[in-house]
Each structure stands twice: as structure tokens, then as C-alpha cells.
Amino acid sequence: MTSQFSFALHATDGAARTGEIATPRGTIRTPVFMPVGTAGTVKGLYPEQVRAAGADIILGNTYHLMLRPGAERVAALGGLHDLARWPHPILTDSGGFQVMSLAALRKLDKDGVTFKSHIDGSTHRLTPERSVEIQLLLDSDIIMQFDECIRLPAEEREIERAMELSLAWAERSKTAFGVHPGRALFGIVQGGTVPALRRRSAEALAALDLKGYALGGLAVGEPQADMLAAIEATEPFLPRQKPRYLMGVGTPDDILESIRRGIDMFDCVMPTRAGRHGTAYTRFGKMNLKNARFADDRRPLDETAACPATRDYARAYLHHLVKSGEMLGDMLLTWNNVAYYCDLVAGARAAIREGRYADYVAGVKEGWARGAD
């Protein structure tokens, strides 16, 4: 087990890459999907199920954890890994996206953001320094800089203002982070869908020599084509030997197309949220288990899958659970979805190593188009 944080690039296929991130708490195989554990739990699943589904790392949320149970309390209880019974790597986002989403409940200035809790209306302050401090108290392995994420579409001058502020906050985040060899601070490239701004942001962050780089401010209302164009405009200016993380993305198709363009890391609430709303992601495409056509279907979601939720439960039973509002339905569909996302990136890793990524993507999409019947 290493005591350092490092990234090794093992193979490429076009712009697609596969490698490994080494951390003291374990290896992260890339491309990787990180299930979202907003409040210290991947909703509906035991930690052992998340691990068995193929997850090398999960994500926790600074904003939610600072409000409940509190960063200092988590630290006093032994850190998030011990508290959540997840001894493997954890990435925490900075809280910037959630704070910016509060709109009328926040006030932004050049030093940080003052906001009111959505839970009880109490007033809080987040700065780059406090965001990093919270993440260190949580004992995160990968810490994100504090940034300003704005929704798209937006005026170019507003996108530029937020990008420049995020760059200033990146420098402050780096100073606050200090030296932690076993952990990593990632910068966040902003700039909306304006290629020149994305380049300026990426080049300035690269000059800070951080351990990894994220693309933020995407999947916030823009079409997929604009998101992919922003990746293409940014990728040439990201250090080749550092991991690249596309924040908050996305659908299986978004992930496959982003891997094709050189992205290594992903997170999204979609598989867990969809599971709680009756939707299963499968190699046959999406299935809405609320649909009456599944009421008498004795087949499992996919008899070839390794995940028990996918392989062992009849679609008719899942339909019944969803229609009845039984929590087991949410749990089983979430388990299926997390396993599917992890399988999707595992397949991508193998295909990149073997130089057949384009064929892999074509085959996956053919399966979606063909459907289950």
C-alpha cells in the first residue's frame, strides 16, 4: 500500500485513456464511476454492496456534511471513512455547486459565500480556506478546490467573471491545503461553453501543478453537444499525466462519449435517483418498471449480470414493488443501476487496453437500441 497519491497512465486508444490512481486507502481504476454518497451514504445500499458492485471510490458532499452532522463532529468520531464504514478512497466536492444553487439564500463576494441552510435557515460562511478545512476534517482522499459554478446559458462576461474568481479561489485553496502527500487537491476548470475561457482556466490551473483537474460548470442545462465541445476545447490544455474528472456527469451515453474525449473520472446522482423513481439502467437500455408491460414478466432485468438485483429478481416483482411504494424496490433498482454504471466503465477500461474502444461503444449503443424484447 502506497503512502503517496499518484496517477499512472497505462494505455490509450485515441483520446480515451485507462490508468490507475494510487492512494493510501486503495487503487482507483480509471475510467472510474464514483457513486454519490451525498450525506455519507450511497442512498439505499450497504457499503459492502457498493464495493461489490465494482466501486473503487465514492463521493461525499461538503455542503451537506458541514450542516449535518458537522465536519468537526465527523472528525471527532474518527473521520468519514470510519463513520460510514467505507475504508476505501473518498472524494469530497467543495460545496460550491450546492451553495450556488441556493440562489436567494446566498450572498457572494470575492472572499467567499454567505448562505442560509436549507435545513433550518441558520447562517453559514464558506470560503476557499473553510471548504478545504472541512474536507480535511472529513478526512477526504481527494479534495476539490472551492469554485463558483453558474448555470448555463449565461452571458459571456458573467461566465468570465466566475471563471476568474474560481482561479483566484484555486490559488487560495492550494495555500490552505498545504502539504498532504497521501491526499490530493484537484482544481476545477470553469469557462462555460466558451473555448477561449476554458483554455485560459485550464492553463492557469495547470501552472499551479495540482494533483488532478476537474471540468466543472457542465451538465448544468446545456445540450450534450455543447458539453462535449467544451471537453474537446479543454482536453489539449490539461496535463497528460494527471487525472481528469468531469463533475456531475451523467447518463451512460454522456460517460461513454466523455471517455472517448479523454475523461477519467465521473460522478452523478442519476443511477441512485433513477432507482428511487422506478428506472433501471441495463444493457438493453432504460426500463421504467412502473410500466404495466412488466406486470407479468417473469424474466430478470438481465440474466447474464453478476449483480444479484439484476439477475435474481423478476421484472414482475420489481414492478410490483415500485407500484406498491415498497422501499425494497428502490433498493434493488439502485443496486442494479450502480452495478451497471460500474460495469460500463469496467468494460471501457478493458476495451481501451485492447485498442477497441470505438467498437465497444458501438456495441453498447446497439444493445440500447435493440432493447429487451
Q: Verify whether residue 297 is a known catalytic residue.
A: no
Candidate list 13, 56, 93, 302, residue with the active-site label: 93
Measure the CA–CA gap between 274 and 167, rounded to whole angstroms: 34
Cβ neighbours of 18 (radius 10 Å): 23
H or E stretch including 66?
A: helix 62-67
Tell me whether strands 142-144 and 279-282 are parallel, antiparallel or unpaired.
Answer: unpaired
Active-site residue flag, 93: yes
- Tally of CB atoms within 10 A around 151: 13
The Cα–Cα gap between 137 and 60 comes to 13
At 233 the three-state DSSP class reads helix
Q: In the structure grid, which three cell numbers stand for residue 13, read together?
A: 486508444
144 neighbors 214 (Cβ within 8 angstroms): yes
- Say if CB 33 and CB 56 are below 8 A apart: no
CA dist., res. 61 & res. 64, Å (int): 6
Other C-beta atoms lying within 10 Å of the C-beta of residue 300:
20
Answer whether 122's CB lies under 8 Å from 116's CB.
Answer: yes
- The 3-class secondary structure across 237-279, one letter per residue, is HCCCCCCEEECCCCCHHHHHHHHHCCCCEEEECHHHHHHHCCE
Residues ≥6 apart with Cβ < 8 Å to 196: none
Catalytic position from the list 56, 267, 302, 330? 267
Cα→Cα distances 149→122, 142, 145, Å: 23, 19, 12
C-alpha span between 41 and 304 (Å, rounded): 28
For 170, the 3-state DSSP assignment is: helix
Which residues face 282 on adjacent strands? 285
Q: Which of 365, 331, 332, 334 is nearest to 347 (CA)?
A: 365
Q: Quick count: other Cβ atoms within 10 Å of Cβ 236?
A: 11
| Residues catalogued as catalytic | 93, 267
